[in-house]
Amino acid sequence: AQSVTQLGSHVSVSEGALVLLRCNYSSSVPPYLFWYVQYPNQGLQLLLKYTSAATLVKGINGFEAEFKKSETSFHLTKPSAHMSDAAEYFCAVSGVSGGYNKLIFGAGTRLAVHP
């Protein structure tokens, strides 16, 4: 069965610093992987997705993620944090459960950006 582990429920960085949010997955088949962002009291918005094309995926707002099969990882990065990046981030893998395909989400990582 597929699963996702996000390391670190809270991450704090300074404005202008590197953002690194960690995601490890478990999947018995080539995975489809996703990163979503959620701002307070809003729904989730797709940042980027990996669908077996390029291993380095670029998303919106300057974020990117690299698929590393050997490490079963799909970490999210941004070279320089901005105050507006403060939000909760969810990693997800496409999996089958109960005979149906659905997204399986990690527990989320809350990113704080301080001046």
Question: Can you give the binding site for another protein, defined by CB under 8 A?
Answer: 9, 32, 34, 36, 41-46, 49, 51-52, 90, 92, 94, 98, 100-103, 105-108
Residue 62 beta carbon to another protein: minimum distance, rounded to whole angstroms: 19
In the complex with another protein, the residue whose CB is nearer, 9 or 12, is 9
In the complex with another protein, the residue whose CB is nearer, 29 or 83, is 29
CA distances, 45 to each of 1, 3, 42, 61, 95 (Å): 25, 20, 9, 12, 19
**Residues 72 and 63 sit within 8 Å (Cβ to Cβ):** no
CA distances, 115 to each of 5, 17, 86 (Å): 29, 10, 12
Residue 96 beta carbon to another protein: minimum distance, rounded to whole angstroms: 9
Residue 80 beta carbon to another protein: minimum distance, rounded to whole angstroms: 26
**Residues 30 and 45 sit within 8 Å (Cβ to Cβ):** no
In the complex with another protein, the residue whose CB is nearer, 100 or 115, is 100
Q: Which residues pair with 103 in a beta bridge?
A: 94
Residue 14 beta carbon to another protein: minimum distance, rounded to whole angstroms: 24
In the complex with another protein, the residue whose CB is nearer, 2 or 73, is 2
Type of residue numbered 42? Q
